[in-house]
Structures are given as structure tokens and as C-alpha cells.
Amino acid sequence: MITIVDYGLGNIQAFVNVYRRLHIPVAVAKCAAELEAASKIILPGVGAFDHAIERLDASGMRPVLDNLVVESKIPVLGICVGMQILSDSSEEGSLPGLGWVPGKVRSFKAVPELSDLPLPHMGWNDVSPSLNNSLFKGFEEEARFYFLHSYFFECLNSEHIAASSNYGLDFSCAVRADNVYGVQFHPEKSHHFGVGLLKNFAEL
């Protein structure tokens, strides 16, 4: 069962609608008990890093998520801020992240040569997946997704970069560490590209 974590952030219904159209079983978890049937987990998010961590802590689901992802190795897909909180830390806040993918979240404005870059990075952009990346199966020739963000994930280990995009510099727009996946863009707003990616995640 694909289970979407509802901790008050992100367009939960948009993901439910995609999977229902694909006839793939999907559930929404608002408490720890509702995570028990999960075979795959989607962790959406919008807004600020610290606020997302605080909301996840307040939901009571974080210890169960840690156990499912770290101990039981259930696949998880973090989206937008849901991807950013997979990291160790963020320049946007002071709270530690989940630490599931080693790295930190940086501001585009913190890069000196990008200080004049319009923010947020908003709209469609090309995405270049790494080789043999099952999350992007079928997108070998073309991959375009919808972005809305001012921060980017800087992986500690380049092997964890699952895809990159360019906005003033090449940045990792998707990450993967073992069973943990994350995408900075919004698949639920990315038409057939996003539907294909969410289907690929279901079929991992």
C-alpha cells in the first residue's frame, strides 16, 4: 500500500487522485497507527524547513517513520520540502533534518555568483537523471518537471544525486540513498512526466 503522510503540509489529495486514476491502491496516514500497512511512503511538504520538521514531530509519526525507513527499509519518496527534510540540516532553519540522506540544504542566494538570481526558481525546467535510475524510467530522452523553490539539496556524497537540473548552477533536483528517494520538483503539477514518476515509484 502506498501511504501518503499527511502532517498538514502539501497537496495530499493531488497524489491520491493520481494513484486512483492509475488504479494503484493508496492511503493517507494522519497518525502513527495508519502507517502500519505502508509498503511505500510518500512524504510531501511545502513551506519552510523548520516548520515542516515541527509539524512532523507534532504529528507523532516521526518515530514510526524512522523505524519503517531506517530499520525496515521501506521505500520513501520525499517531495519538495519533504525532500529537503531528508537532509541533515538547512540554511533556512536551525533544526536538524531527518538525516536519511547525508547532506545539507542550501540557499541559491548563499552562492555568491547567484546573488542576483530571481527567486524562487519557479516554472518548468529540464531534468537530467543519472544512469540506470528506475525512478525516471521512460524519461531517458526528455524529462521536464515543475519547480517552485529557493533552496537546493547539496549531497555529501555525489553518488546520492539521482538527477540534476540547472538554475544558475547545476543542482541536485533528485536524491537517492538506498531506499530513500527525494525530488525537489512537484510531480503532482508536472502532467504526464509527474504521473510517470509516481507510477515508477509505485513499481519499484
List the catalytic residues.
Answer: 80, 186, 188
Give the Cα separation of 107 and 116 in Å (integer): 13
- Least Cα distance to 59 among 39, 44, 79, 70 occurs for 44
How is residue 181 written as a grid cell? 528517494
